[in-house]
Chains A and B, each alone.
Chain A
Amino acid sequence: MAERLPVRRWRRLRRSRLFQYLLLQAMIAGLCVLALLPSLPGPPAHYQLTAFNLTEAGAERAMTLPYFSHLRNAMNDPPRFSGRFVRPADEAGRASSVFLPRFTNGVEVTVNGVAILDSRRDPAANRPDRNTPAIAVIPPSLLHDGDNAISIRLFIWGPVTGFLDRIWVGPDELLRPSYNLRTLIFVTLPVVFSSWQAILAVILGIMWVMRRHEPAYGVLAAAMAVGVAQAFLQTPMGDETPFSRLNVVLIAAAPIECALVLTFALLFSGMKWPRYGWVLFLPGGLLALAGLFGNQTLVRGLFLVLAVPMVGLSLVLMAVITARSALKRQNVASFMLGCAVTIMLTCWIADMLAVFQVVPNRIFVSRLSYSAMLVAIGAGLTWRFARALNEVDSFAGRLVTQVRVAEEKLKASFAREEERARAAALARERTRLMRDLHDGLGGQLVSIVALSERGNGGADIADAARAALKDLRLVIDSMDDIGGDLMLALGSWRERAMAQLRPHGIALDWRAGTAQGLPVHPELRPWHVIQIVRLLDEAVTNAVKHADAKHITVRIETLADADGLARGCITVEDDGRGFEITPEGTAAGSIKAARGLRNMRSRAARCGAELELSSCAQGDHQADNQGDVPGTRVRLTLPHRFPDSDGAAG
C-alpha cells in the first residue's frame, strides 16, 4: 500500500498537469479565434463598389463582390468584372483612387478604358499567402463627372482558386489609411519577422558550430535559413527560365521548413529519432523534384496535396511533441513552443476554412502566425542561455566552496602530519639522547659508584666525575644548532680539551689553515657532532693516558679531492710513545688501547668519515710514514655528505 500510493498520486498529478496544459492551450486557441473574427476596418461604406458584370468563360452575368472563382488557372482568358461608379461634381478637385483590399492572384484595373494598375508587377502582391492589398490613384484627366467605367481582370495561377474582395473607389485620402493598415500588417510585419528569422538563423548556426554535439540547433538554423530564403525570393511569373525553375524549388520551402522544425522539436525534447523520420522530408523532396523537372502547373497542383497537409500534419505532431516535453520535463522553452504551435495550428485551421470557402473571406494568417513560433524560439534560446549562465555561476560557487572545504581538510591533515612528524622527531631525539647519555655519562657515573664503594681512589673518583660532567656538556653542546658548521662544535671542544690538558702540562697546538676552517655541511646532525667530538676526545685521552705526550697538535684543513669537492680533514698528532699497529689496523698490546681504537673506527664509520691511524713506537726505527719522529697520528677525513641515518648504530 505504501508503495502504491505515491505512484497513484504521481499519476494524478500528471493528469492534472495535462488538464491544465490543455486548458491553457484551449484558451490560447480561443483568444486566437477572437482576434481573427473581426474583419479589418475599411473605408466609408458608401465608396464601396460591389455590383459588377462578370464575363467568365465567354458568359456574362451580373454579380456582387466578393467573388470566389472556381478556376485555378486563368491567365489567357481571365474573368473580367465591369462596373460603373459616379464621381460627384464636388469631388472634382480631389484625388481619387481604386482600393482593392484582397485578391488572388493578380488584378489589372482599367478606368474609362485606360489601365491604371497591374498587380502582377508587384512581387509582394503575387504571393497569395501574403494578403497584399493594392491601391491605384486614378489620373484626374481620366475621370469625368457622373458615370465612369471601371473594369477589373482577375488573373489566376494557383495554387488556390481565384478570389476578388469588395473594392472601393473614392477620394484617395479616405481610402489610403485602410490600405496603409493592411500593408503594415500583411507586408511590412512579415518582412520584420523574416529579418528576425535571419538573425535567428545566424545565432543558431553559430550555436551549432560551437556545440556540435547538439544537432537540434543546426537543424533549427537550417529551418530558419530556408524560411528566410522563401520570404525574400520572388514568385516566378511569366516565361519559364532556368532562374524561374530554380525559384520553383522555393515553393518546396514550406514543407521542408516544417520537416526541419519538426526534427528540431524531436531532438530538442530529447526523443529518439524515429526510424522512418526521413518520411517527413518526402513531401518537400517531391515538390523540389517536381519544380526542377516538371512545369509550374504540376508544382502548384502538387503544392496543394503535399505542402498544405504537410504543414498541418507537422503542426499536429509538433503540438503533441511539445506538450509531452512541456509536461514531462517542465521545461519553459518547450512550454512556450507548445503555445506557439497552438497559435499556428489555430491559424492554419482558419486558413483551411478560408481555402475551402467556409468563411466569407480569404485572409491567410498562417505565415503571420509563424512569428509567434519565431518569438518562442528566440525566448526559448534566451531562457536556455540565461539558465546556462546561472548554472555556470552556481557551479563556480559550488566549486569555490568545495575548494575551500578541501583546503581546510588539507590544512588540518597537514597540521596533523606536522604534529606526527614533530612527535616522531622528538621520540628519535629522545632515543639518541638516551643512547648518548648511556654511552658516556651513564658509564662514568657507574664507575664513580664502584670507586666510592671501594672506599679508596679519591683521585680516580674525581677523574670519573669530571669526565662525566665533560660528557654531559658535550651532549648538551652537540644539541645546539650550529648551522652545519662543525668548527663551532670544535671551538667548544678546544676549550674543554685545553682545560683537560692543562693540569697534565700538555700543550695543545691548534692549527686551523683558514678563517673558515672546515666546509659547511647543512646535513650535519647532532649525533654526527657527538661521534666526531668523542672520537677526537678519545685521541686526546690516549695521548694523555697512554702515550705520555708533551705536545698535541690539532690540524684543521680543507682538502680539495680529485673531483674538486672540498672535504674537511682533522688531524690529531702527539709526540708520545706511540704503539705498534697490527696489520689488521688494531693496536697491539693492551686490550684497553685496542678497544679505544675499535671505538674510534666505529665512530668514524657511523659518520661516513675515513680514519687513518699511524703510530711510531719510541726507539722503533722501522721505516714508516711518520719517519723517525715518534708519536701517534689520527687523521679523520670527513665525507662530502654526512649520512642521514645512523647505519652502524645497531
Chain B
Amino acid sequence: MNSLSDGSPAEAITVVLVEDDAPTLWRLQDALTKAGYQVKAAGTLAEARACLAQGAPKVLLTDLQLPDGHGVDLIRETRQRFPDTEIMVISILGDEESVISAITVGATGYLLKDAFPTDIAATVRDLVAGHSPISASIARFIVRRTQNTPEPPPGPVLNTAKLTPREIDILWGIAKGFSYAEIASHLGLSRQTVPGHIKNIYRKLEVHTRGEAVFEAVQQGLIRL
C-alpha cells in the first residue's frame, strides 16, 4: 500500500461490495461512491450471486464470514467465471488466517474495514490500475513459509514452491517495510517491474484447479497416496 497516488476518480467502474454488517457496508459504499465508482451492495452470499449474475464487475470486494456461506466460495466462483475481475477481501484485522486462504483462491490483497475513505478509494483505484497491493504482514507470512522448517507451521496451507528467489527477495523487502523504490534499488531492479513481480507472486500462490490442488498437496506431503 505504498503505491497510493492521487489521481482522477475512475469512471463507470463497477464494484460489487459484499458485507453483512450494515454500518460497515454503508461506510465502504459511501467512500467508493464518493470516489465515483458504481457500487452494487450485497449483504449475503445469495445477493452477491444475484449481483454477479447480471454481469462481470470490474472489482469484487467481499467479506469472508457471511450469514449464508463463506466468502472464499464466492471468490473461487468469481475467479472461474470472470477471470478479469479484480478481487479483494474486506477484513477487520488483515490477519493471514483469512487473507491467505482468500489469496489461494484468487484474491489479491485485502482492505481494512476501518480504513479512511480516501485510502479505500485509492486502494481500489490502484487495484484497477493493475497494481496488486501486498501488505507487510502478508508478505511476512509468505516468506516465513518459504523457509525450511522441520514441521509445517500452523495456519492456512500455502504452496510457495513456485516462487523464484527474486520474488522471495521482493517479499522480504516488503515484509521489512521497504518501499518498491527501495526494494528495486537493493535488488538492482527497475522500480516499474516490482508491481509485475507482485502480480506474479499472487498468481503463483493461487491454486487454480481441483487437480492442481491435489497435486500440490501431494507435493507438500499433505496427502499421502
Interface of A is mostly: helix
The reply to whether the CB of A491 lies closer than 8 angstroms to some CB of chain B is yes
What is the number of residues of chain B that contact chain A, defined by CB distance less than 8 Å? Answer: 31
**Interface pair B177/A492, CB less than 8 Å apart:** yes
Shortest distance between the CB of B63 and any CB in chain A (Å): 16
Shortest distance between the CB of A504 and any CB in chain B (Å): 10
User: A499: which of B115, B147, B174, B175 is its contact (CB, 8 Å)?
Assistant: B115
**Interface pair B176/A499, CB less than 8 Å apart:** no
**Interface pair B179/A510, CB less than 8 Å apart:** yes
The reply to whether the CB of B43 lies closer than 8 angstroms to some CB of chain A is no
Shortest distance between the CB of B16 and any CB in chain A (Å): 25
Within 8 A of A (CB), among B14-41: none
**Interface pair B177/A494, CB less than 8 Å apart:** yes
**Interface pair A512/B178, CB less than 8 Å apart:** yes
Residues of A within 8 A of B173 (CB): 515
Shortest distance between the CB of A430 and any CB in chain B (Å): 18
Residues of A within 8 A of B204 (CB): none
**Interface pair B176/A488, CB less than 8 Å apart:** yes
**Interface pair B140/A502, CB less than 8 Å apart:** no
Given contacts A469-B92, A473-B93, A473-B94, contact A495 B177 (CB under 8 A): yes
Residues of A within 8 A of B101 (CB): none
Residues of B within 8 A of A485 (CB): 176
The reply to whether the CB of B182 lies closer than 8 angstroms to some CB of chain A is yes
**Interface pair B136/A502, CB less than 8 Å apart:** no
Q: What is the CA–CA distance of A510 and B177 in the complex, to the nearest angstrom?
A: 9
Q: 1/0 contact trace for B114-128 toward A, CB 8 Å?
A: 111011000000000
Shortest distance between the CB of A355 and any CB in chain B (Å): 91
Residues of A within 8 A of B136 (CB): 488, 491-492, 494-495
**Interface pair A491/B177, CB less than 8 Å apart:** yes
Given contacts A473-B94, A495-B1, A503-B118, contact A490 B177 (CB under 8 A): yes
**Interface pair A517/B176, CB less than 8 Å apart:** yes
Q: Measuring CB to CB, which residues of chain A are less than 8 angstroms from any residue of chain B?
A: 465-466, 469, 472-473, 476-477, 480-483, 485, 487-488, 490-495, 498-499, 502-503, 510, 512, 515, 517
Nearest 9 interchain pairs by C-beta? A491-B177, A491-B136, A494-B177, A487-B176, A515-B186, A492-B136, A491-B176, A492-B137, A488-B140
**A-B contacts, 22 listed (Cβ < 8 Å):** A469-B92, A472-B93, A473-B94, A476-B95, A480-B137, A480-B140, A482-B140, A487-B175, A488-B136, A490-B177, A491-B136, A491-B137, A491-B140, A491-B176, A492-B177, A494-B136, A495-B177, A503-B118, A510-B177, A510-B178, A510-B182, A512-B182
Q: Measuring CB to CB, which residues of chain B are less than 8 angstroms from any residue of chain A?
A: 1-2, 4, 92-95, 112, 114-116, 118-119, 135-137, 139-141, 144, 147, 153, 173-179, 182, 186
